[in-house]
Amino acid sequence: MPVITNIEDLRVLAEKRVPRMFYDYADSGSWTEGTYRANETDFHKIKLRQRVAVNMENRTTATKMVGIDTKMPVCIAPVGLTGMQHADGEMHAAMAAKKFGIPFTLSTMSICSIEDIAAHTQAPFWFQLYMMRDRDAMIRMIDRCKAANVSALVLTLDLQVIGQRHKDLKNGLTAPPRPTLANIINLMTKPRWCLGMAGTKRHTFGNLVGHVKAVTNMKSLASWTNEQFDPTLNWEDIAWVKKQWGGKLILKGIMDVEDAKLAVASGADAIVVSNHGGRQLDGAPSSIEALPAIVAAVGSQIEVWMDGGIRSGQDVLKAWALGAKGTMIGRAMAYGLGAMGEEGVTKALQIIHKELDVTMAFCGHTDIQNVNTNILLPGTFPTA
């Protein structure tokens, strides 16, 4: 086993162990992948101010996200097909998050179901919901969340239509993979993954198959999803979801100040500045570039979080310094899971936390609550 010291080490190992179509699903963007790459590279442009001869003892990175205590301003983002990165992947990621002390978010398009997570973790978690034409299916899903002790609902707003993701199209992405010659050859090089999948019954979308009318197999599921993402989504629909749910509501996919103001008016509890990991509108700004203007406009009225491009604890600290009261990590979790299962997710969280903690100390702080733009070198970071 190689020595793992950073998230890139986990990515390299995941690429070796995860079948090509599922690795590409997690590690790709839409069209030219320009926004996908910018999410990460724009963090590198932001420079930190090193301070010396300051007391670095008794440091804390603890905070709250929608009232929930977290060890650091990080939660696990909703990632579809997580259970194809590793057998029962969502369950392993949820357990790693629970033990570490941060929230976990389950995707609608997960392999493990809402009930699987509830039974396996015995702890509150968050659920990510898409707006679908089948409102009855949404009501049933929301009711299942209530029964499973879900403590917050994350409504994703930026997938009314699906961005063209060339790698997914070329790979013929399905869950489980079709038994084509190319897939069989690739799977033969992934014995660890195949052995894990042989030991679980969870091979397709657990939140939909058997729970949504007319979805009984992969063929009907594909037809249903192509028809169900609702392109007519509007703010009245968000009010409908809020009424049906009645609990904490987080709106994900905000990239514009005007939309952020409308989100505040909707009564949401938090918003996530996010371009869907560069998987939707290619050519949009990076999440970290969009963050400051949104914080300036609504940060005093609502919790503003961000996701996209976070590969280190330094990235978390930079986002916090620019006003994000929380961050979501998706790919860093997926790399860890694909590389080493639950142990890999734990390793990813340990890496990010250590980098966050040590960098905060080098910047002259012992409590993340006191960190602001003063830790950043003027002229190197985006402003409102």
User: Which residues are catalytic, by number?
Assistant: 276
Phi, psi of 55 (to 5 degrees): -70, 120
Region of 102 (left: φ > 0; alpha: ψ -120 to 50; beta: rest) is: beta
Rg (CA), the chain: 20
Cα(319)–Cα(368) distance, rounded to whole angstroms? 12
Burial of 347 (0-12, 13-18, 19+ CB in 10 A): buried
Question: E strands along the chain, which residues?
Answer: 63-65, 68-70, 74-76, 105-106, 125-130, 150-156, 248-254, 270-273, 303-307, 326-329
The answer to whether 83 touches 112, Cβ cutoff 8 Å, is yes
CA distances for 365 relative to 312, 313, 325, 350, 362, angstroms: 18, 15, 17, 20, 7
CB under 8 Å to 133, separation ≥6 — which residues? 227, 228, 230
Calculate the CA 222 to chain-centre distance: 23
- Residue 53 φ then ψ, to 5°: 55, 40
HSE toward the beta carbon, residue 155, CA cutoff 13 A: 30
Structure tokens at 258: 């005007």
The runs of H, that is alpha helices, within 177-282 are 181-188, 191-198, 218-228, 235-245, 257-265
Residue for token pair 């952020």: 260
Spatial separation of the C-alpha atoms in residues 94 and 118, rounded to whole Å? 10
